[in-house]
């Protein structure tokens, strides 16, 4: 068995520093940068990512990885090497010509997508998407795969996951959820307590209380206002920042976005500090990360126990809603109906939005679907799964930027997060049956402690598959999530 050399550690530490610097620059761009700074910032970010990428794919890195030889795969050093090699190989396998073309196409496609969405004009975007799909297919061939080219792309976001597993998962969700969604009301009902006038400072005061109760450590983070909320780690677990948004007439818009980002942040703040500046820093996968944001946003923040506890504070903070009972707030938090826009969709219908995208992007990659036919297919699937036809392509097939950015294989991680959140919460509850009772007292330390111990602290130490088995005793399964949705929405909407 060999040890990881200091040179190799130093190399990945340098890459981590460069990537953290990029994260600071991006955070600043989205939170505080004056408008004038945009062009210079783009150059700075491009320089940092070029240096980081060059350092990762350099012959020196390859040689250092090579000479390390075999390391006990179950040790921390073995995990370091597994992730380092994976990152190196994924980067080194793409010819630099292809990396350049992907970057150029991404930039053009994003511009075209913005225009296309504004004008609801598919034709403006179609040629760019066609080019992007061709490049992604080429990338998949370079990256390599055993079963399906989609696996090669998916692996970037969800290491080890296969399309064959997703096919099974989405088939189950389609079968279980489409019939329920069909029975939902066609529009929002019961959301009154969260609509009206909500002073922004009061909203922030309330959500800050909740997020602090969850266990978010403000001495290792902060919150700023942005257009599209995100969570970012700027120095391992020691500097994990969240961002949020406000709508002075709609409480949920700020509140659940904040819980969501806080969920991501609790994960990052809980990673073993020893992994900082190594490939083991951060979350195990996008799906695993999303499981934490969804768990705190939905399973905790949209639970009856949660609103039983926070109803008095909510009424005190927003006197106009003082008359709303805990049950009213619980129902307002769980309004569900088929809607056009994914990012505004509720917990129940959300997965069908992902299903549509998953079926389309796998078909695109297989060559079974022409880009020109995409709006038609999108609308048919929306009709069939959600029961309506989008009013326009802008509010349909053009609503997300992901494909323009080349993010094929990314959408499923949202649903993986949902599925995993229920399985993980079930395991935590089975270890500590008092968790639900504690939530109704505004206490979250047992839940957070279990997550820290079983998920957070491990960072990328284990493959997602291994991590979920270690944490829950079972491979990923959709059962707990489907039961959770059926139980909750069955009761609320009498389905």
For a second copy, the binding residues (CB under 8 A) are 13-14, 17-18, 20-21, 24-25, 28, 32-41, 43-44, 46-48, 51, 217-222, 224, 234-236, 238-239, 241, 276-277
The least CB distance from residue 274 to a second copy, in Å, is: 13
Dihedral sign for Cα atoms in the order 109, 115, 118, 120: negative
Considering the complex, state which of residue 18 and residue 102 has its C-beta at the smaller distance from a second copy: 18
- Looking at 158, 191, 261, 297, which residue is catalytic? 261
- Cβ-based burial of 49 (10 A; exposed 0-12, middle 13-18, buried ≥19): middle
Considering the complex, state which of residue 28 and residue 121 has its C-beta at the smaller distance from a second copy: 28
CB atoms within 10 A of CB 18: 19
> CA 415, CA 420: separation in Å to the nearest integer?
8
Considering the complex, state which of residue 21 and residue 143 has its C-beta at the smaller distance from a second copy: 21
Considering the complex, state which of residue 25 and residue 177 has its C-beta at the smaller distance from a second copy: 25
Considering the complex, state which of residue 49 and residue 317 has its C-beta at the smaller distance from a second copy: 49
The least CB distance from residue 10 to a second copy, in Å, is: 10
The least CB distance from residue 92 to a second copy, in Å, is: 21
Q: Residue 346 is encoded by which pair of tokens? A: 């509720």
CB 133 within 8 A of CB 121: no
The least CB distance from residue 49 to a second copy, in Å, is: 11
The least CB distance from residue 151 to a second copy, in Å, is: 34
Q: Measured in Å, how far apart are the chain's first and last C-alpha atoms?
A: 59
CB atoms within 10 A of CB 492: 17
* φ, ψ for residue 235, nearest 5 deg: 180, 60
Considering the complex, state which of residue 52 and residue 349 has its C-beta at the smaller distance from a second copy: 52
> Which residues on neighbouring strands pair with residue 12, listed in sequence order?
none
Considering the complex, state which of residue 43 and residue 146 has its C-beta at the smaller distance from a second copy: 43
Considering the complex, state which of residue 41 and residue 195 has its C-beta at the smaller distance from a second copy: 41
> CA 330, CA 321: separation in Å to the nearest integer?
13
CB 125 within 8 A of CB 112: yes
Active site residue 261: yes
The least CB distance from residue 32 to a second copy, in Å, is: 6
Strand order in the sheet with 240-244: 223-225, 240-244, 231-233
CB atoms within 10 A of CB 347: 22
Residue whose structure tokens are 């839940």: 447
CB 51 within 8 A of CB 18: yes
Considering the complex, state which of residue 16 and residue 398 has its C-beta at the smaller distance from a second copy: 16
* φ, ψ for residue 422, nearest 5 deg: -70, -40
Non-local (6+) Cβ contacts of 322 within 8 A are 315, 316
> CA 73, CA 70: separation in Å to the nearest integer?
8
Catalytic residues: 261
């Amino acid at each position: 068995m060999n040890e990881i050399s200091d040179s190799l550690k130093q190399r990945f530490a340098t890459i981590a520093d460069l990537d953290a610097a990029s994260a600071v620059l991006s955070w600043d761009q989205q939170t505080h940068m004056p408008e004038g700074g945009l062009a210079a910032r783009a150059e700075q970010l491009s320089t940092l990512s070029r240096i980081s990428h060059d350092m990762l794919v350099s012959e020196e890195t390859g040689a250092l990885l090579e000479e390390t030889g075999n390391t006990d795969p179950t040790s921390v050093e073995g995990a370091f090497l597994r992730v380092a090699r994976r990152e190196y190989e994924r980067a080194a396998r793409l010819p630099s010509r292809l990396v350049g073309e992907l970057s150029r196409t991404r930039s053009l496609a994003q511009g075209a997508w913005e225009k296309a969405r504004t004008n609801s004009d598919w034709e403006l975007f179609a040629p760019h998407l066609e080019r992007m799909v061709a490049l992604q297919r080429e990338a998949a061939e370079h990256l390599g795969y055993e079963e399906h080219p989609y696996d090669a792309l998916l692996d970037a976001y969800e290491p080890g996951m296969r399309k064959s597993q997703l096919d099974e998962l989405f088939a189950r969700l389609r079968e279980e959820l489409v019939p329920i969604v069909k029975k939902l009301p066609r529009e929002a009902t019961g959301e009154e307590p969260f609509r009206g006038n909500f002073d922004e400072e009061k909203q922030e005061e309330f959500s800050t209380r909740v997020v602090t109760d969850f266990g978010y450590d403000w001495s290792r983070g902060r919150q700023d206002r942005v257009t599209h909320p995100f969570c970012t780690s700027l120095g391992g677990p020691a500097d994990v920042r969240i961002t949020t948004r406000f709508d002075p007439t709609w409480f949920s818009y700020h509140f659940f976005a904040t819980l969501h980002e806080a969920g991501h942040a609790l994960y990052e703040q809980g990673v073993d500090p020893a992994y900082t500046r190594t490939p083991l820093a951060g979350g195990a996968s996008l799906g695993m990360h999303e499981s934490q944001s969804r768990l705190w946003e939905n399973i905790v923040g949209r639970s009856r126990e949660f609103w039983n506890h926070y109803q008095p504070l909510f009424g005190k903070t927003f006197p106009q809603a003082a008359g709303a009972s805990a049950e009213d707030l619980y129902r307002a938090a769980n309004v569900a109906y088929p809607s056009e826009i994914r990012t505004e969709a509720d917990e129940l219908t959300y997965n069908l939005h992902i299903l549509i995208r998953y079926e389309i992007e796998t078909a695109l990659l297989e060559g079974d679907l022409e880009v020109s036919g995409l709006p038609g297919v999108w609308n048919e699937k929306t009709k069939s799964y959600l029961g309506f036809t989008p009013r326009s392509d802008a509010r349909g097939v053009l609503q997300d930027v992901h494909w323009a950015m080349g993010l094929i294989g990314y959408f499923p991680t949202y649903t993986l997060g949902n599925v995993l959140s229920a399985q993980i919460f079930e395991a935590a509850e089975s270890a500590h049956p008092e968790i639900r009772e504690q939530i109704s007292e505004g206490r979250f330390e047992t839940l957070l402690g279990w997550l820290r111990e079983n998920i957070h602290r491990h960072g990328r130490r284990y493959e997602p598959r291994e991590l979920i088995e270690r944490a829950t005793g079972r491979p990923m399964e959709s059962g707990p999530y489907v039961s959770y949705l059926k139980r909750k929405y069955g009761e609320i909407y009498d389905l």
